[in-house]
Amino acid sequence: MNQYQDDLRKVLEDAGSRLAEDTLRTGFDETIRKLLIAGKVQKPLDYMLTGKSLEVRCQVTMEQMGLTVREGRTMMEDLIVLVPQGAEPTYPLVVEVKSGKDPSPDKQALRELDDWVFDLSGEDLIRKMQHPGDASVGLFTHGMFTWRPHHPSPHKGVFIYNGPTYVPFEQRSPNWLGYNEEAFAKKRGFCVMALCTLINFADRVKNGAVQLDALWKLIHDTEGVLPPPK
């Protein structure tokens, strides 16, 4: 543990009297991530995770499957998952991670994800008709040739939810996403999954029961709730 204690001590010393919040938070998060990966932290039971610890749990879980995960933009999306080499579709994932005392997230949480997908996919350029010339495609529709714009940088929205917190996974309802929230997710093409589903799929990828490319495609094909693996 001395190595990790030294890391934490160095972060605190570097912050000094300046109380550099961003520097402190970045260094602390990275050290905690190292501790989690090394199995040196007795973290809370997964069903209790909230906030930053939940976000780190999701990031580490995806990285251990072999995915490349980056932190999202400041005050915006939580995570960005890059496309694995040779995988299809070739759209990165925009990931929002939430927890709550209710069985289902509310629609406002899903709307936040919609904002991040909208922005990263370049939909604002499409709506303003400022997309590049190669961002549109000609199609034959009912015998007529029409132009339909494509997003310059399409992304897939993924929402990971842990709730109701403090209720063990096995005691939670299998039909947990609210009707209106599920309708919204389907309309936007979002893949919504419970934390336990992510963990279960990760275990199967690590032991070879599920191929990462197959899971990647399944996530992209899912509009609404991603069912747990059978």
Is residue 63 exposed (0-12), middle (13-18) or buried (19+ Cβ within 10 Å)? middle
Identify the pLDDT of residue 45: 84
Which range (1-10, 28-37, 63-72) has the least confidence?
Answer: 1-10
Q: How many angstroms separate the CA atoms of 172 and 133, rounded?
A: 49
Q: How far apart are the first and last CA of the chain?
A: 38
Identify the pLDDT of residue 148: 44
Closest CA to 120 of 76, 56, 184, 86: 76
> How many percent of the chain have pLDDT more than 90?
61
Closest CA to 188 of 180, 176, 200: 180
Arithmetic mean of pLDDT, 117-146: 55
Digit-coded pLDDT (tens) for 151-200: 567 899 999 999 999 999 999 999 999 999 999 999 999 999 999 999 99
Q: Quick one: fold of 45-225? A: Restriction Endonuclease (3.40.91)
Per-domain residue ranges for the chain? 1-42, 45-225
> How many percent of the chain have pLDDT more than 70?
68
Confidence of residue 139 (pLDDT cuts 50, 70, 90): very low
Identify the pLDDT of residue 154: 86
